[in-house]
Amino acid sequence: MGMTMSQKILAKHAGLDSVREGQLIRAKLDMVLGNDITSPVAINEFNKAGFDGVFDREKISLVMDHFTPNKDIKAATQCKQCRDFAGKYDIKNYYDVGDMGIEHALLPEKGLIAPGELCIGADSHTCTYGALGAFSTGVGSTDMAAGMATGEAWFKVPSAIRFVLTGKLNKYVTGKDVILHIIGMIGVDGALYRSMEFTGEGLASLSMDDRLCIANMAIEAGAKNGIFEVDDITEEYVKERVNRPYDKFAPDPDAVYAETYEIDLSSVKQTVSFPHLPENARVVEDITEEIKIDQAVIGSCTNGRISDMRAAAEILNGKHIAKGVRCIVIPATQKVYMQCIKEGLAEIFINAGCVFSTPTCGPCLGGHMGILAAGERAVSTTNRNFVGRMGHTDSEVYLASPIVAAASAIAGKITGIK
Amino acid sequence: MKAQGIVHKYKDNVDTDVIIPARYLNTSDHKELASHCMEDIDKEFVSRVKPGDIMVAGMNFGCGSSREHAPIAIKASGISCVIAGTFARIFYRNAINIGLAILECEEAAKDIDAGDEVSVDFDTGVITDITKGHTYQAEPFPDFIKEIISAGGLLKSLKK
């Protein structure tokens, strides 16, 4: 029986010729990731279990991105614990304030993930790297601790849903609209325990940033991982960043998929997910009620990359955000931050009345840098709109692309661009 | 291994942000996490829960963030077992890895009400609603996972 892309990567890393759905395997890891929230729990477990070394100092990434620059004494203490651990074990890929970025934007940018590799991260959006044709999945802190110590993790081999993409995105429609559309279609548990595999001639019109955004939100459909078939666009991206050999895995022609969806990208429209689940997706042009907003957030591991910044800046250029709206723009990495300054985007944002911040996950998870009060409403390019996600339990988050978020910030209400 | 207690009942898609809100993730102290468990959807949970109680919920329990603080908070609050229709996969892994007992059983998750007294036999997967006099059969864990749990969690099983 043929294997999916995800199954092939798992088989290779388990040292097996083939694997089948439901099989329990142990597999070798190419990267183990943690952040300033999840790593302290992992470090505690690592120490408690009595491990005295890591499997490979170059295959662990610790990124201080969630509550940084430290929002309070407890957050500072957690970062210090990570910093001390990284120092003790000489962890090569330790990223602190000043050279950090939001982890899922940073790792691909730094070339720390290559096609065909196997990565676990103690952060649910670790599934982002499937955009590069890697098998990458979120785990908890104990798995991270075990991964750092042994370089291995256990997996139950998933079945997969195949998304065959055709056509081409229309102007002002992005990867974010595609993934919100898909989650709206299959639901927040529509891909539970499964892989989401993206193939088809439509891939040619999706930039790497679009793919990273789509794979990023695979978890919001419950998926174990999201993965894209490697093509010229992937190779072009990887060429500039990775100088180690890597494998490209295409699905077997007779691979068995639990379901297959065909999606014509030209039919996807600007989409917004309403509170309090990402599956509450609605096409912007069908929204008839007026939804006033108090805040717009443009950034995060979903939409904080340079193409997101450029798209938002194009809308905000020469305009000013509505009175009474706060717009917070957060480039995802130091590199993107610098690019925004060099390309004049920072100036556009500031002239438009936006806050322009150093990288942080901050507001996305209601950590800091943009918390909502009771009764407030935000449009956000982040990935979750759960109850209380960005602040008070009586606040609301509407998920959208940077284009829709920027247009909404100007209008003071949720709106798209024609 | 068995558990018995009073049920705290929740709906579908209980996410880890409401199990333990991110504003409390600046600590990994188990007791402190437990003191805020479920507060964004059930403010009284913390004062109501008794050691050994059982949590029952609908589909996709524990969706969202991978924070292990979520199963830690539930376990440290005294909950002995979570029964749900389905679990989000990272929560499922995390619960096993830290030794929080969980069982998937859609029928039990639908029928059992808040306040019922329920007992669970993890070896057989049998769930009994003592109040209603009904029994349900959940899928028991595969041996691989039983080994992790009997060792007291993933790291202890690796050190064996």
Complex ipTM value: 0.94
Structural domain boundaries in chain B: 2-159
Give the side-chain half-sphere CA count within 13 A for A19.
25
Mean pLDDT of B129-140: 95
Mean pLDDT of B109-113: 98
Which of B26, B71, B156 is closest, CB to CB, to A67? B26
Which architecture, in CATH terms, is A272-411?
A: 2-Layer Sandwich (3.30)
Q: Kindly report the nearest CA distance between residue B69 and chain A, in angstroms.
A: 8
Which architecture, in CATH terms, is A5-265?
A: 2-Layer Sandwich (3.30)
What mean pLDDT is reported for chain A? 98
Round to whole Å and give the CA distance between A221 and B65: 13
Q: Is B77 on the interface with A (CB under 8 A)?
A: no
Q: Kindly report the nearest CA distance between residue B133 and chain A, in angstroms.
A: 31
Residue A401 pLDDT > 90: yes
Round to whole Å and give the CA distance between B64 and A384: 8
Q: How much of chain B, in percent, has pLDDT values that exceed 90? A: 83
Q: Which of B63, B100, B141, B144 to mutate to test the interface with A (most CBs of A within 10 A)?
A: B63
User: Could you tell me which residues come within 8 angstroms of residue A235 by beta carbon, excluding any fewer than 6 positions away?
Assistant: none
Q: Is A176 on the interface with B (CB under 8 A)?
A: no
- Contact call for B98 and A367, based on CB within 8 A: no
Q: Is A63 on the interface with B (CB under 8 A)?
A: no
Q: How much of chain A, in percent, has pLDDT values that exceed 90? A: 100
Which of A142, A222, A387 is closest, CB to CB, to B63? A222
- CA–centroid distance for B82 within its chain: 3
Mean pLDDT of A149-157: 96
- Contact call for A142 and B68, based on CB within 8 A: yes
Q: Which has the closest alpha carbon to B83: B48, B120, B131?
A: B120
Write out pLDDT tens, residues A198-226. Answer: 999 999 999 999 999 999 999 999 999 99
Q: How far apart are the first and last CA of chain A?
A: 47
Residue in chain B nearest A150 by alpha carbon = B158
The pLDDT-based confidence of A308 (bands split at 50, 70, 90) is: very high
User: Could you tell me which residues come within 8 angstroms of residue B104 by beta carbon, excluding any fewer than 6 positions away?
Assistant: B83, B84, B85, B86, B87, B138, B139
Write out pLDDT tens, residues A224-242. Answer: 999 999 999 999 999 999 9
State the pairing for strand pair B54-57/B2-9. Answer: parallel
pLDDT at residue A155 in the model: 95
Q: Which of B17, B20, B26 to mutate to test the interface with A (most CBs of A within 10 A)?
A: B26
Q: Is B66 on the interface with A (CB under 8 A)?
A: yes
Q: Which two tokens stand for residue A244?
A: 């180690």
Find chain B residues with C-beta within 8 A of A23's C-beta.
Answer: none
Find chain B residues with C-beta within 8 A of A224's C-beta.
Answer: 89
Round to whole Å and give the CA distance between A197 and A249: 12
**Answer CATH for B2-159 from 3.20.19.10, 3.60.15.10, 3.40.50.720, 3.40.47.10:** 3.20.19.10
Q: Kindly report the nearest CA distance between residue A277 and chain B, in angstroms.
A: 9
Alpha helices in chain B (DSSP H): 16-19, 30-34, 45-48, 69-76, 89-98, 106-111, 143-151, 154-159
Q: How does DSSP classify residue B24? A: G
Q: Kindly report the nearest CA distance between residue B82 and chain A, in angstroms.
A: 18
Residue B140 pLDDT > 90: no
Q: Which of B42, B90, B156 to mutate to test the interface with A (most CBs of A within 10 A)?
A: B90
Round to whole Å and give the CA distance between A279 and A185: 7
Structural domain boundaries in chain A: 5-265, 272-411
CA distances (Å), origin B49, targets A89, B74, B94: 41, 10, 22
Find chain B residues with C-beta within 8 A of A374's C-beta.
Answer: none
Alpha helices in A241-378 (DSSP H): 300-303, 306-316, 334-342, 345-351
CB A275 within 8 A of CB A293: no
Residue in chain A nearest B62 by alpha carbon = A222
The pLDDT-based confidence of A319 (bands split at 50, 70, 90) is: very high
Q: What does residue A162 show for φ and ψ, rounded to 5 degrees?
A: -100, 135
**Lowest-pLDDT range of A325-329, B67-71, B99-103:** B99-103
Q: Kindly report the nearest CA distance between residue B94 and chain A, in angstroms.
A: 6
Write out pLDDT tens, residues A232-289. Answer: 999 999 999 999 999 999 999 999 999 999 999 999 999 999 999 999 999 999 999 9
Residue B151 pLDDT > 90: no
Residue in chain B nearest A137 by alpha carbon = B90
Which of A49, A384, A387 is closest, CB to CB, to B155? A49
Other CB atoms within 10 Å distance of the CB of residue A246: 17
pLDDT at residue A3 in the model: 98
Round to whole Å and give the CA distance between B37 and A310: 40
pLDDT at residue B147 in the model: 84
- Contact call for A386 and B18, based on CB within 8 A: yes
Round to whole Å and give the CA distance between A231 and A199: 10
Q: What angle (nearest 5°) sits at the alpha carbon of residue B71, between those of residues B66 and B77?
A: 145
pLDDT at residue B160 in the model: 61
Give the side-chain half-sphere CA count within 13 A for B53.
22
Which of A138, A154, A387 is closest, CB to CB, to B66? A138
Residue B38 pLDDT > 90: yes
Q: Is the preceding omega at residue A276 within 30 degrees of 0, hence cis?
A: yes
Q: Is the preceding omega at residue A275 within 30 degrees of 0, hence cis?
A: no
Find chain B residues with C-beta within 8 A of A55's C-beta.
Answer: none
Which of B40, B68, B158 is closest, CB to CB, to A150? B158
- Contact call for A389 and B17, based on CB within 8 A: yes
Give the strands of the sheet with B54-57, arranged side by side.
B101-104, B81-84, B54-57, B2-9, B117-121, B126-129, B134-137
The pLDDT-based confidence of A354 (bands split at 50, 70, 90) is: very high
pLDDT at residue A182 in the model: 98
Q: Is A151 on the interface with B (CB under 8 A)?
A: no
pLDDT at residue B92 in the model: 95
Which of A122, A146, A189 is closest, CB to CB, to B158? A146
With 0-12 CB in 10 A as exposed, 13-18 as middle and 19+ as buried, what is B41?
A: middle
Greater confidence (B122 vs A412) lies with A412
- Contact call for A139 and B26, based on CB within 8 A: no
Find chain A residues with C-beta within 8 A of B42's C-beta.
Answer: none
Residue A350 pLDDT > 70: yes
